[in-house]
Amino acid sequence: MSDIMIVLIYSGITALATGLGVIPLYFTKKISVSKMSLASALASGLLLTAAFDLINEGTNSNAVLTLLGVITGVILISISRKWLDKRKTPDVGDLARADLLKAIVIIGVMTIHSFAEGIAVGLSFGGDNLSFGSMISIVIALHNVPEGLAIGLVLIPKGVKIWKAGLWSVFSSLPQPLMAVPAFLLVLVFEPFLPFGLGLAAGAMIWMIGAEVLPDACHKTAPGSIGIALTIGVVFMMAFKLFIS
């Protein structure tokens, strides 16, 4: 089997793993308004931890580029959201217009974030380092599972069917195999820009949490409960990271 095929298979697995995150939600009954708020807070905790993981990874290589990436990510996603507000949206049976715009932003941001992870997978296989690349791919695949859960926690309470949420989760991770192979073939070209890409993804995610996800958590739910749910999300993601490392 060629090296390119190995990279493609491993990166494809990382993308598919994201869809596994919505499986636990299959066993939940109809979600009330209060549970929907808590789900948004829990998703915020998961995503916030993932965003700062990206920043930490980027600053280990180049702190300045990572900072510039964060600033750029916030600016780009803010402009994109304002642009979407002025556009006509298609008729989607599952979602009202406001919820559809939120879904577009969330899926878009997670897709941007997957570009950086795809490059990371490709770079990890550079220099004929199959064992290291395999390890990084497995870690990212496991890391993608709770990210898929976070996407499901945002989309499903808004009326999106579970199987559709799973497909959207996988879709958001498709840039991983798409970027892994070019990054593997052009290690020297992609490597210097990875910190900027990680920062850009993190900045967009943090903006999304503050502007789209957390506001949904503040409907008919006590602030103390929101804080607990958000903290549980952070603790879960940290514990999960410790487990897979």
Q: How many CB atoms lie within 10 A of CB 86?
A: 6
pLDDT above 90: percentage of residues in the chain: 10
105, 80 in Cβ contact below 8 A? Answer: yes
> What's the number of domains the chain is made of?
1
What pLDDT shows up at residue 68?
95
Averaged pLDDT score across all residues of the chain: 80
The tens digit of pLDDT for each residue in 141-199 reads: 877 887 888 888 778 877 788 888 889 889 888 888 988 888 888 777 788 888 898 88
Using CA atoms, how far residue 98 sits from 37, 49, 90, 112, 242, in Å, is 16, 26, 12, 21, 37
237, 49 in Cβ contact below 8 A? Answer: yes
pLDDT exceeds cutoff 90 at 16: yes
- Lowest mean pLDDT of 53-57, 98-102, 206-210, name the range: 98-102
Rounded CA-CA distance 32/14 in Å is: 32
Contacts of 109 (CB under 8 A, 6+ apart): 77, 201, 204, 205, 207, 208
What pLDDT shows up at residue 101?
67
Helix segments in 86-193, DSSP class H:
97-124, 130-155, 162-172, 175-185, 187-190
pLDDT above 70: percentage of residues in the chain: 86
pTM exceeds cut of 0.85: no
The tens digit of pLDDT for each residue in 71-94 reads: 998 898 888 777 766 665 444 444
What pLDDT shows up at residue 151?
83
Range of the domain at 78: 3-244
Which residue did the predictor score with more confidence, 193 or 244? 193
What pLDDT shows up at residue 90?
47
Rounded CA-CA distance 160/164 in Å is: 7
Return the axis-axis angle of helices 63-85 and 33-59, rounded to nearest 10°: 140
Using CA atoms, how far residue 128 sits from 125, 158, 194, in Å, is 6, 45, 20
pLDDT exceeds cutoff 70 at 106: yes
Which of 198, 172, 202, 170 is closest to 106 using CA atoms? Answer: 172
Rounded CA-CA distance 243/245 in Å is: 6
pLDDT exceeds cutoff 70 at 58: yes
Q: If you average pLDDT over residues 15-40, what whole number do you get?
A: 79
What pLDDT shows up at residue 150?
81
Q: If you average pLDDT over residues 196-220, what whole number do you get?
A: 80
